[in-house]
Each structure stands twice: as C-alpha cells, then as structure tokens.
Structure 1
Amino acid sequence: MLTYGGKKSNSSTKSKYSAYPEVVLWDTFQEEVKNVRIHKNDITVQYVIKPSRLRPEVTSEEEVIFAIIDNVFDPLSQFLATQEQYGSFKIDGSNAPGIIGEPDFVFYHNKIAKLVGEVKIIWSFPAPDNLAAAYYREGNTLRLPVQQIFGYMRINHLKYGILTNYENFYFMKRENNLLHISTAIKSSDVDISVYRALYYIVYLSIENYTCSPNTSKNDNKNYDSDDDELEEDREEENDEDDDDDEDEDDNIDYPKRQKKQQQSLNRKKQKSSRSKKLKLTNEVVGYGRNGHVYKSFYDNKVCVTKICDIIKNKEMITRLKYENQLYVHLKSLQGIIIPNRITSGYLKNLNWFYIVCYEFSGKPKTFDEYTYDEKQMTLHALRQLHLNNVLHNDLRWENFLVNYDDNNDKHNRIMLCDLETAVILNENDMKKKNLFRKEENKLKKLSWTEETLDVTIRWLLRQCGRIERESRRICIELVCTFIPLLPGIRSIREYFELIIKSEGNIYFIESFEGTISKEKKTSFKANLANQPCLTDINEQFSLPIAYQWLDTVIASLDCYTWVFSQGFLNPLLFQDNNQQSHLITSLSYFISKISRNTLHDIASYFPISNQSYVFTPNDVRQLDIAKCTVIVRLLNFITAIWSKYPFDIRRATDNSFYSNDLTKLILTCVFTAGAN
C-alpha cells in the first residue's frame, strides 16, 4: 500500500495536476456539526477518542487502520445502532461490493456504499490545520493524498469522503469537480469531537450519498456528467511504420516519404480530435483473476472494463499491459476467438486508474451446463490460440464466454478471455507440441474433474472435525493434496475464501465443531455446537462421556490450528455473531472448570448425580492424560493465532478468554512440566 513520504518541496510551482480537483475550504462544516441534532444521546460528551500513542511506534498504514477500527469505527457503529441508523465500515475496499478502486475503508448503509476513506501514516502525511490552503502551496506530500481520495469519490460517484492519519481527520464533500475540505478535526478535540463529525458525515451520506451532475452552482457547463476521457495507449503498429520511415536511406523517393509522413500526421490529428467519453459503472459483470470486471460505456456503446488502481496494485498494471501485447499478437482472432480489445489507457484526470475496455462478448457458465456442440467450440477456440503459438495457462469455466443469438437460446460463439497468464511460445520450441497437447487434454477433462474433485474435497472437509485422530489427519492431508489440482485455483486459501463467499463462515464452523440443526446427523454423540460445555450433554456423568467431549475439543483445536497456522482462514470468523462459533466458549469452560480440577470436582458439576462416584487411580491417570492432550493442543492453537494474526485475534476473541485461569494454567504447565 503506497504511503506518501519524503521532504516537503520548497518550490512554489504547482504540480502538473494541481488544478484537478479544485479545492476549497468547507468553512461551514464545524458550524454544521455543532447544529446537528442527535436523538437519544449526545456523543460529544460520551465518546472521546483515546489519545494517540501511535507516533513513536507507527510503521505502517495497517497499524493506523487497526487503531481507527478499535477506537473509532466500532464504538461509532454501536452508537449508530442506538440511533436506528444501522451501518458498517468495511476495511480494505478492494473488490468491495459496489466499489471501484481500493479505498482503505467504505461505509455501507442498507448494503449500499455511502462514503469512502483513505488512511495515511503520520510521517508521510503531516496534516496541516487548513489542508485546502496547503493543497495549492505544498508539494505532492499533501496534494497526492487529496487527489487519491477525490479519485475514489469521483470514480464511484460519491459525494462524501474522509482522509485521516488518526491524529487528524478531514471531512470532504464533492460537487462535481469541486472538493470542499474541512479544517482538521483532531482526535483529542472535545468541543467538536471526531465522533460527532463522523456521525454528521455519515448522516449526510445516508441522506444523499451520490454526487449528481449539473446540481452544483460550481458546475462547469462543458463538463455535464461523470464521464471520463482516456489518455489512450499508443498504437504500436503505427509507431513502427513511423520508425521505418525514419530509417530509410538517402535514396528514398522524397515525394512518397512526404506523403507517408502527412498520412501519419493526419491519423494522429484525427485520433486526438476524437473525444470519446468513458462512463464507468459499479455493475459487476464478471470476476477475473485480478478482481471485478465492470460494465461501462465507451463512446455510448456497452463494453466490459478492467480497472487497475496503480497506487494500490502495481503488479496488476504489469499483467494488464502484458495482456495488451498478447491482444496485439492475436489481432486476427479478436472478435472471433477472443473479445475485441476496444481501447486502453489512463483516465485523463484520475491518471492513477488504468483502464482496459473490451467488447461485450457473452457470459460464462459452468462446464457441466455445456452441450456437446459447445464443448467442441471451446476446443476449437483453444486450438486457434495454439495455432498462434499461445498457451492460455488459465483454463476454467469463468474464462469461456458464451454468446447467444438474440432470436433463440442457441449459442452463437464461444470466446476465450483473461490472457494475463498466457504465454507466447517460440516457433522453434521443441516442447511446444507437448504443452499444447497437455492443455487440450486438460480442457477435455475439466467438465468431469472440476465438479467431482470439488465434491470430494468438500466431503473431506466435513470429515476433518471427526474425533478419530488418524481419520482426521488423513482427511486434512487429502484436502491439502486435492485443492491445488482444481483448475483455476491458485491456493488453498483462495479455495476457502470462495467457500466463505458462497456459504459463509458457518461452513467451516459446522465442519470443525458440528451442527446445531437437529435434522442433520452427526458422526458422534457430543459436538461443540450442541454441547459447548461438558454439562450440556444432560446425561449422568461417566468417564466415556468426559473422554468423548474432550476428544471433540481436541478435534476442533486441531482443525483451527491447521487453518490459522497456514493462513488459510482468518480468526475473525469467531467474530461473526450470525454464524457463531462455540470453540472459545468451550475453551474458556475447559480452562476454568476442567484443566486444573480433580475428577471428583468434574463429576460434581452434573445436575443428575444422585450416586456417589468411586474412581480408581487408573481412571484419574487416564483423565489427566486426556486433559494434558487438550492443554498441549490449546497452547499450539494460541501460539498459531497470535504469531499469524496478532491484530485480528484481539478483535476476534473476548478479553475474558485471557483470564487469570489461563495464566495459572500456563504457569502450572511451565513450572510443573517435569513433575510427573
């Protein structure tokens, strides 16, 4: 993530882009905030942001974002709920619903993006009191962050935005190309607190979040919409023609050369005179390897667009430009085997957004929906790439576009797309035929392999929570072996994220802990979903019941330690109130009630215990061994999540989990490890 650092510029010369956007002071903002009426409570007194202790330690935007989440967004969201204005802040706007670009956070209300925000670190963004004035006289250190947040507001047609380094907050209102910026609201301010200012900007965005053209008194009459213009990439073939003219020798036919030069000049003039507008929308029509593909309008014609925010995603611009070269190489196949590439380039004013526009060429569908004829058409499309010495390298159903005839449901053509990982092979490459044959065979098997292998993997995932240790180990190994074999899946983490998108966190919670539903069968009597505590089994105490409950805890710990230690899942899934995990509840119960207590103590917890229990020394020893096994797994679990997710785990688990009982348990393990 880019941060803007460096020394201040002493030059008074304005940046090349300093006039865009035009910036003015939002001089009435503080007065508006003072006058806003807040029902049921006054957050000015109740909420004051904790004093910032970031300045000595801060090294990244991530640390600032976590501080803002804990001290600003979470309490503000709770307060909004008391005002019956339910909303949420989503951190990391990359691929966020309804958002173009990658802002650091987005505020949603009724599942609609209302405003965006950018976070900078203290060292790279000095944050003067009057940012609007400093915007024109300072260097890029101040100007670029303003242009960046304006770009996210502008490209998403939003009216409001926020720029902050935690110590200072700036609130922004856009009127077409005019940006109003408030004076700095400091995190330590009480008279006009950040909470009150945030509440006000959220309130405004809920009431009217879009910036409609032709509504501002400052509108430029010649700029009547939120359309953009592209600084188009230069056509390589035209450049080559011009270079050839320069290299001709002294015996050239000068009249002919002058005619060619004049034709080249006319082409360039004609191109520069064409002012074709690009209108972007946040309507997603597909999902590629590098993010969403959006519907847009170029020269009033529908097209699909890939958008790269080069400030946040420098690698993607390299891949897109490489894909452009492949489209030049495959120019004869455009509109037949691959979509027509209409144009590409940087937005004229928002020149950190790189755009590639393609002709709309159909929609994908899963391979199991293909007819025999359609499967033959996919093979034909792939073979045409191979005839042009191109290896696609990313065969999956999402990359085949089926275009239907308007008059019936029959297919008209099938095209291949997403060439970012494709490779042009050398004509004399001895391995070429073998590589092409392997890719063709892979496509033939996809319709069977992808569906069947996915079903197998999901079945194995559901078995990972079994109490039988060896079965659990083998299932985990097979999942790790099979997922990389799925076409189009680059990693186990990507596959897990796709499952969460389609089925939610509950899929993994039920796989690792069991299910609450009485209709679904469980493979063992006890599971954490139904019995988070040993006494929830509602049976008379017996040693087999105790062993079985401890085995379920071990099974869940093994599964979660696996996925967290490898970075496959994030512990924030524990924070999902709608799909709640019972693991932390079970662990807290084990730590306080089971781990350091005797067998007689544990038996006394059961309400149905009319008989006195007699336990042999072997019973006591076997239960102690089972408890020690759980303790070892528990310590492995804590080590895994804290080493991999030190920030997220603070938010994911309640502070009560880290109790004195846990401290005593750890100290007991350390100081009495060799006692037995």
Structure 2
Amino acid sequence: MADQLKLRCVIDGTSDSFSVYIEPSKDIDDLKDAIHKKKENTFTALGIDADQLILWPIHNVSTQRKPLGLNSLNPAEQVKTKDPDDDQDVPSFREPDQSWQISYVFENTLPFPARTVQIIIGLPQQDLAESDVLNLVPPGVIYSHRSDRDPSATATISVWRRTPTEVVGWDDFLDMVNDYTPSNTPMYEREDFRFDEDCLVSDEETLYSALDRNIYNTLKRIAAPDGHFGGHSAVSMIGSPDRIFYLDPELLRLAIEVKTMHVLSTDDVVQKYNSDIVDLEEDFTSPQSTIYQVQQIFGYLSWNELQYGVLTTYEQTWFLQRDGKKLYVSPAINYDNEDPTLFQCYACIMRLARQDHVNEPASPSPPPGPPPDSPPHDDDSGDGDYDPEDGDHFQNKRKRFKCRDGDFSQNKRKRGDRSSGSGNQGSRVMTRRLSTGFSVTIGEVYRSEFEFQDLLGEGRSGKVFQTRWRGETVALKICDLYQHPEYEEEVLTEVAVYDTLKPLQGLCIPHFKLAGYDGGIFVIGTEIAGSPLAVDELSYHDLLEIVDKLSLIHTFGILHNDIRPDNILIRRCDDGIKVCFIDFALSKRSSDKSELINEIVKLEKLLGLHSTKGMCRAGLHLKKQPVSGQKRLESPEDIC
C-alpha cells in the first residue's frame, strides 16, 4: 500500500470516521466506489448507490471534533478547487467532478497530518424513517463563562420537592429500549434533522436552547401530530419543570428537569444520591450534592401523579420511573451514545408515558426545618437557590423564621384530628404567637387529599387554585415559604383572623375549610365565594351592603388593612348579592376608632360613595348591632 493514498472519511453529521485507501491516479468516481464498499451495509440499508454519494474535500479537520458536518466548517477548513480544464475559474468550495483525479483535488493539502479527516460524505436528499432518526447522534455543547467569575454550581431548592423513600437503579430500562421497534417507513425529510454544531452554554437558559435545538426539536417531529415538547405553562400542572412532554389536548405525560454540568456532575446518580443522604444524616453536605436535584424532579412527578420523568445535563441524561414513594433511575446515557442512542432512549420512555403515565402521588415528606438565613446571590443561573458549600439549609441555618423559645408547642395527634379553628388534618401541630397580636394553632396537610383543577388567580403571597378536597370544591391558596419566608406571619395571621371572625363565616367572609404546612408550602382553603368586585355592575343598595359588611368585621376589632377590588368577592343571589371580604394577611387587631373609620372611608371612595358626610356615615355603620357572639368595641356610639 506504499503507493496508495490514505483518506479519512466521515458521513456528514456523524462522528464515526473511517479510512479508505486508493491510488492518487484514480478519479473521484473510483473513490466513491471504494467508500461505498467500505460502508456497504450502511449505504445499502439507506438505499444509496455509490454514484449518489457527494464528496466534500476538507483541510485535515481533527477527528476529535465530533460529530463533523458540512454546516460546522469554517472557510479555512474548506478545500477550494477549480475546474482543471478552465484556467479562468476562481477556486471555490465545490463538489469535485467525478472524472477529476484524486491527486489534483488534494495536491494542496498533502501530506495529511495524523488523526485528521479529509472527506465529508454528503448523502442524497431522501426521506428518513423513524428508525433512521433515532439512530442519529446529536453534537455536544461547548461550555463558556465569564473569566471574572466561576460558573454556578448551585442547585434549586424547589418548593415542590419531595423525598423518595428509596432511589434505586432502573435495571431493565436498557432492555426496554432494545425491545422498542421503531417504524422503518420513510416519512421525514432529512433537511428537518440538521443539528446546531456550535451551541455555547453558559447557564441553564442557554442549555435549554441547546436542548430545544438539538434534542427536543428532533423528538417533537417523531411525536407529531399529537405529541409536543414545551415549557410547563403549556398545560395545567403543579410546579414548573424546565421542559415537559404532553399530548393533545394538554395531557401531561413527562416532566423534564435540566441542570448544567456544574450543578449535576456524576456518572452514577443512584450511588451519589444515596451517599449524599448518608452524609446529610451525619451533618455533612457534599459540595456536589445531588439531593435537591433528585428531590426536585421527584416532586414534580409526585405532585402531578406522573410515572415517568427525565433528568438531563444534555451531556448526560437519566430516565426515571416513579413507583409511589420509590424512584428508579436509569444508567447515565451520554449524548454521543451509539448503542443505544439518546434518541432511542427518549423514544422508549415517550412510548411508556403514552401508554401508562399515571402513578399515585407519594405521601409528602416530613416538613423541613426553617429556611436559610438568606439566599445566595443571584448568579444568572436557574440553579441559584442553594449553595452546597454552605451545608444543608434546613439543618444548619435557622434564623430566618426568627423563632424564640416558647414560640411553638408541638404534640402528636392522630392523622385526621383537627386542630382548633384551622381545619387541618396533620399529625404535627404547633401553636404560634404572632407579632400582630394573634395566636394560632396549625398543623400539616397532605397533597394526596387535593385534586387541583383550575388556577383562580395569584397575588403577592401565592396562587389560588380551584381544588377538590374531601368531596367538595374549595379555593386553595398556596404560599411558597421556601422562596418567601417573610410571608409566613402573614398567612398565619390570615388563619387567625378567620378563627376570630368565625361567627361571620358565610355572612361576610368565606367559610373556612383548612390550613396547614406541606413541607415548605403553606395552604389555606376556603369556600369559593364569588368574583372580584366590579363597581359598575352594582346598584346603590348593593354598594351600601358592602360597606355594612366591612363594618361588621370592624365590630370584632379587626382592621382588614388591604381594601381593594380583588379582596371583595361578589356573588349574585335571588334576593340580591352576597359579599365576602378575603385575604386577611395584612390584618391586625385595632380598637382605634379613627383607623376603623378611615378604612370605611377608603372603601366608600373605592365604591364611589364618599361625600362630605362620609365620616358620619362611616360612624353610623360602626353603630350597627353586632351579630351573636361577636366581641364589640367599647363605645362605637361615640364615633360621630
């Protein structure tokens, strides 16, 4: 072979290079025959003859660049050629004519350095089958970050996280992938499956973009017409995973959580997670802990009663199956795996999720301790809420709730018992004294008792869902105390006010149903009392009725302290309207007559009732007789 030329070749868009030996005096047509013979099985399976191959000479590009494609070349890597029979031709990057001698095409590139590729083999345009698509290998990503700061290695503390009782290997996942039989019927245009070879990643946002372009855009084509990949807002669901797979019409099937390689860097998630749990029990937290990453995706699966999920860094992907409280995790699948490919693994779990996606929710984890003293600084990463080097937030930092000795008294109650005035059914109960002057007893609630239906609205301290609970429909307010621990006293105040105003429930405030902690989430449930105030739709007598109802609340010594249309709900009845004031998070006890009058005046202005006699009218409303059992101000008759 001393007189033969060794040419290293790669099929466009792949990474598996191979060598072909040929005499330099042969022409391009002979080279195509040699290449086709070298990879006869591949080209025959694709139905491609030797004369259909398109050969692109390149300038000795490194074989370490994987995969290699025409669209990834820069001008310096392209071999410029001109027609030897036309001296006027300007050299250009072009396909050599089949009759050109090989020595002419490569005369300016000899000798060839070791470990380089000289030819990219283009394939004729033709339809691909599902099996062809799933055999594709996507390119990798290139990480970059600012030189003046290290990349973030922090992990999100999700308010929806759950702790599995057991994390084990999904031992038969690869067997399931091998058993998957994709269609061999050509139906997809090859042009639709071009990858972006130059994906730069600096944080989670840019990683989402790379995944969309090179992974999920490919998968959505084989999932069509009824399957889609998108963000969590595409469907009604609990929590906010980075990506989801869903079917028409808005049927959630897979939750996908994305982490950068700096946040999740391990070949064996199962071994690392279990090791991290042991470390945590011994009051030691690894700088590269996987606890919150696993708990976050497990929480999304549990809250949404999903059986299957995905945890990915792009470069490595783990496929998940949840069985109640137990989580099965596949071996790590690298992006450049060829047997099986990453796409084959995705196709398998997509099929499993289509067939049987539901799994009963896991019972909630025990409530964590108080949140940390302060969150880490924002580092433009989606994983900026937990720094493993600082240790476990919930064990080592306890100042943020500002608890003092004696603030809490805890005792055990059987599940199903209700603590006074809270409607909760948990097993751990505490009594809290608040700076607003209230005292409240509260316990736990359990996700398994709720069936979330629609989002009714959201405000500063949380979202309100229409929810089925114990056979009835309630408005369930959810407050994220992990992210906003400063709201804890507000939601506890709201519960305390509902208890104080118990005689008014159903009269001018909603019927109170439940309240309690579920981990770091706090919920308050009430009846659904109506729609937000629309003044233009009400009569003069209706408006006076609203003022009367606020005056009843005042006679209990409660200042609402947040009068606005969203906090006044109206429901039409046969005999008029039913008025309910809601959201007592900012309320306080008050016997200050001027404070109470000013709130009446504020309401009258909102309703368009205020006049120069407004102050006396406010006073007259405070003179209304109290309902049975209420605590009355000492001398409201002295107001006017």
Which residue of the partner structure matches residue 87 of structure 1?
Answer: 227
Which residue of the partner structure matches residue 4 of structure 2?
Answer: none
Query: Matched residue of 2:290: which SS?
Result: helix
Q: How does 1:587-602 map to 2 (within 5 A)?
A: none
Query: Which structure has the highest strand share of the two?
Result: 2
Aligned partner letter, 1:358: G
Whole-angstrom CA distance in 1 between matches of 2:187 and 2:178: 11
Which residue of the partner structure matches residue 588 of structure 1?
Answer: none
Distance change in 2, residues 1:265/1:4 (3 Å) = same
Q: How does 1:158-557 map to 2 (within 5 A)?
A: 158-211=306-359, 213=360, 278-284=448-454, 286-289=456-459, 292-298=463-469, 302-309=473-480, 314-315=483-484, 317-319=485-487, 321-329=489-497, 331-334=499-502, 335=505, 336-347=507-518, 351-352=519-520, 354-364=521-531, 367=534, 368-370=536-538, 374-385=542-553, 388=557, 390-393=559-562, 395-396=564-565, 398-402=566-570, 409-410=574-575, 413-420=578-585, 422=586, 424=588, 433-434=597-598, 436-444=600-608
Preserved CA contact (<8 Å) 1:227 1:279: no
Counterpart of 1:37 (choices 163, 181, 201) is 181
Whole-angstrom CA distance in 1 between matches of 2:496 and 2:577: 24
How far has the Cα of 1:133 moved from its partner?
2.5
User: For each residue in 1:471-499, what CA deviation from the matched residue of structure 2 results, as whole angstroms up to 9, or x when unmatched?
Assistant: xxxxxxxxxxxxxxxxxxxxxxxxxxxxx
Preserved CA contact (<8 Å) 1:344 1:356: yes
Which residue of the partner structure matches residue 118 of structure 1?
Answer: 257
Query: Matched residue of 1:89: which SS?
Result: strand
How far has the Cα of 1:304 moved from its partner?
2.7
User: For each residue in 1:47-70, what CA deviation from the matched residue of structure 2 results, as whole angstroms up to 9, or x when unmatched?
Assistant: 69656865xx52x32222222222
Aligned partner letter, 1:119: V
Distance change in 2, residues 1:30/1:274 (3 Å) = closer
Task: Give yes or no for the alignment of 1:98 onto 2:265.
Answer: no
Aligned length in residues: 378
Kindly, what percent of the aligned residue pairs are identical?
Answer: 22
Preserved CA contact (<8 Å) 2:306 2:357: yes
Whole-angstrom CA distance in 2 between matches of 1:96 and 1:427: 49
Counterpart of 2:172 (choices 15, 24, 28) is 28
Whole-angstrom CA distance in 2 between matches of 1:105 and 1:418: 33
What are structure 2's unaligned runs of at least 5 residues? Answer: 1-150, 156-160, 278-284, 371-402, 420-424, 428-444, 611-640
How far has the Cα of 1:28 moved from its partner?
1.8
Query: Matched residue of 1:101: which SS?
Result: coil
Whole-angstrom CA distance in 2 between matches of 1:42 and 1:310: 50
Whole-angstrom CA distance in 2 between matches of 1:34 and 1:97: 31
Which residue of the partner structure matches residue 610 of structure 1?
Answer: none
Higher RCO (Cα < 8 Å, 6 or more apart): 2
Whole-angstrom CA distance in 2 between matches of 1:444 and 1:115: 51
Preserved CA contact (<8 Å) 2:455 2:466: yes
Distance change in 2, residues 1:286/1:37 (3 Å) = same
Which residue of the partner structure matches residue 246 of structure 2?
Answer: 108
How far has the Cα of 1:356 moved from its partner?
1.1
Preserved CA contact (<8 Å) 1:4 1:145: no
Distance change in 2, residues 1:28/1:330 (3 Å) = closer
How far has the Cα of 1:204 moved from its partner?
2.1
User: For each residue in 1:495-533, what CA deviation from the matched residue of structure 2 results, as whole angstroms up to 9, or x when unmatched?
Assistant: xxxxxxxxxxxxxxxxxxxxxxxxxxxxxxxxxxxxxxx
Whole-angstrom CA distance in 1 between matches of 2:152 and 2:576: 51
Query: Matched residue of 1:138: which SS?
Result: helix
TM-score scaled by length of structure 2: 0.50
Distance change in 2, residues 1:437/1:445 (3 Å) = closer
How far has the Cα of 1:172 moved from its partner?
1.0
Query: Matched residue of 2:350: which SS?
Result: helix
Task: Give yes or no for the alignment of 1:129 onto 2:300.
Answer: no
Whole-angstrom CA distance in 2 between matches of 1:167 and 1:6: 18
Task: Give yes or no for the alignment of 1:63 onto 2:206.
Answer: yes
Query: Which structure has the highest helix share of the two?
Result: 1
CA-based RMSD of the aligned residues comes to 4.4
How far has the Cα of 1:148 moved from its partner?
1.1
Whole-angstrom CA distance in 1 between matches of 2:194 and 2:340: 10
User: Which structure is larger by alpha-carbon Rg, 1 or 2?
Assistant: 2
Distance change in 2, residues 1:227/1:432 (3 Å) = same
Aligned partner letter, 2:459: R
